């Protein structure tokens, strides 16, 4: 009889050891967001779980504020090792194909995570020593943070494309910024449709990507009518014939207010070339909304439902963070999303020649 034939096909096991636990006594096991089991560490800081999982599922080992993700299914015999004090949260799980694939992706994440921690430490040390350096350091380090994130995202995308047959690939694609990689994420969802039908995380991801399809580039932006700043009904389709930047913002949103001077600049540079802006505010207090319009000198059309995140239009456009924007062509088709700063200026220069 082979060893494989002796495995219990009705459950999986995960045995592990957690070093430098700093007095930690108990470790928890979650299946996505549901607590499945708990175990006390023995004198050697070891633990063991036996759990049923008929299909591959995401699980988390939770030790205080540390979370360790793994994939398991019935018949797997997994081994876990980690140093609780590891600053990047590195860990090792072996014993199955899914575990090996997740280990491969974790090595990618850890590589860029270490760079992030070093850059963050460099910033904190120097600002602590000389607070006056804060702005100049941000200007120097921000491009390095952004480049590190871009490299991580690009490598994660390549990994996901090669691993559509396992949950590690799904985990990699779901770690990406939806605003930047929407097209790739929608395609990935289409490619894995029908797989992992009982996996809540996968089915939720596919559902969210389906909702984004009508909002992807090339689609006609959904029409709506909303009260303008002066209380009159304002309809999106009334702006047909112009390039329109549909800008979701709010008076209380710091990044939005920081971007407003750039929008003012682009509006005045291109408003005579068939370009305009329609600001959609997620404010709840009309007085604060109107004051921000005046203070920031936003001379274009504005509208709001004054319901913050509960507005019909912000939900219709799947707005989960602001600032968020959609650039529409004269036919109302979406031709750009979340263009800001120099990127927006370059796009407008190339489009409105």
Q: Is residue 1 part of a domain?
A: no
Place of tokens 């507005």: 311
Percent of the chain with pLDDT over 70: 98
| Whether residue 150 sits in one domain with residue 264 | no
Q: What pLDDT score does 1 carry?
A: 36
| Whether residue 334 sits in one domain with residue 243 | yes
| Whether residue 345 sits in one domain with residue 244 | yes
| Whether residue 49 sits in one domain with residue 118 | no
Domains: count for the chain: 3
| Whether residue 85 sits in one domain with residue 153 | no
Between CA 201 and CA 171 the distance in angstroms is: 9
DSSP state of 228: B
The residue among 42, 67, 93 that closes a domain is: 93
| Whether residue 119 sits in one domain with residue 209 | yes
Collapsed DSSP state (helix, strand, coil) of residue 10: coil
pTM of the full predicted structure?
0.75
- The sign of the CA dihedral 344, 346, 347, 352 is positive
Closest CA to 100 of 126, 60, 58, 70: 70
Tell me what the mean pLDDT of segment 61-70 comes to.
93
What is the domain range of residue 31? 7-93
Place of tokens 């633990």: 47
The residue among 93, 127, 149 that closes a domain is: 93
Q: What pLDDT score does 198 carry?
A: 86
Q: What pLDDT score does 4 carry?
A: 42
Q: In this structure, what CATH number is given to the domain that contains residue 333?
A: 3.40.30.10
| Whether residue 311 sits in one domain with residue 244 | yes
| Whether residue 202 sits in one domain with residue 275 | no
pLDDT digits (tens, 9 = 90+) for 204-253: 999 999 988 899 899 999 999 999 999 999 999 999 999 999 999 999 99
Q: Which helix (H) or strand (E) holds 170?
A: helix 167-174
Angle formed at CA 244 by CA 281 and CA 280, multiple of 5 degrees: 5
Q: What pLDDT score does 39 carry?
A: 95
Q: Is residue 210 part of a domain?
A: yes
Q: Is residue 98 part of a domain?
A: no
| Whether residue 332 sits in one domain with residue 270 | yes
* Average pLDDT along the chain: 92
Q: Is residue 220 part of a domain?
A: no
Q: Is residue 50 part of a domain?
A: yes
The residue among 215, 247, 273 that closes a domain is: 215
Q: What pLDDT score does 8 carry?
A: 57
Place of tokens 């070891």: 46
């Amino acid at each position: 009889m082979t060893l494989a034939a002796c495995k219990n096909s009705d459950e999986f096991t995960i045995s592990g050891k957690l070093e430098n636990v700093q007095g930690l006594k108990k470790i928890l096991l979650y299946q996505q967001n549901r607590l499945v089991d708990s175990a006390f560490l023995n004198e050697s800081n070891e633990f063991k779980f036996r759990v049923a999982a008929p299909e591959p599922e995401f699980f988390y080992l939770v030790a205080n504020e540390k979370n360790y993700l793994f994939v398991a299914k019935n018949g797997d015999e997994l081994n876990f090792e980690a140093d609780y004090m590891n600053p990047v949260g590195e860990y090792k799980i072996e014993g199955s194909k899914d575990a090996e694939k997740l280990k491969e992706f974790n090595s990618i994440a850890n590589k860029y995570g270490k760079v992030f921690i070093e850059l963050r430490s460099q910033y904190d040390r120097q600002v602590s020593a000389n607070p006056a350096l804060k702005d100049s350091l941000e200007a120097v380090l921000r491009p390095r943070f952004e480049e590190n994130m871009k490299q991580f995202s690009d490598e994660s995308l390549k990994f996901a494309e090669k691993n559509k047959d396992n949950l590690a690939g799904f985990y990699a694609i779901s770690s990406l910024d939806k605003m930047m990689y929407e097209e790739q994420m929608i395609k990935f969802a289409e490619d894995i449709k029908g797989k992992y039908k009982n996996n809540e995380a996968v089915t939720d991801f596919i559902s969210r990507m389906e909702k984004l399809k009508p909002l992807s580039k090339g689609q006609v932006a959904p029409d709506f009518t909303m009260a303008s700043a002066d209380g009159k009904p304002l309809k999106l389709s009334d702006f047909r014939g112009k390039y329109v930047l549909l800008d979701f913002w709010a008076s209380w949103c710091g990044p939005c207010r920081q971007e407003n001077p750039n929008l003012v600049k682009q509006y005045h540079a291109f408003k005579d070339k068939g370009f305009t802006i329609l600001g959609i505010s997620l404010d709840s207090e009309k007085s604060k909304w109107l004051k921000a319009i005046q203070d920031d000198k936003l001379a274009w059309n504005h509208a709001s439902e004054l319901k913050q995140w509960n507005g019909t239009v912000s939900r219709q456009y799947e707005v989960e963070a602001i600032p968020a924007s959609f650039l529409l062509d004269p036919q109302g088709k979406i031709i750009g999303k979340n263009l800001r700063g120099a990127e927006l200026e370059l796009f407008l220069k190339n489009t409105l020649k």
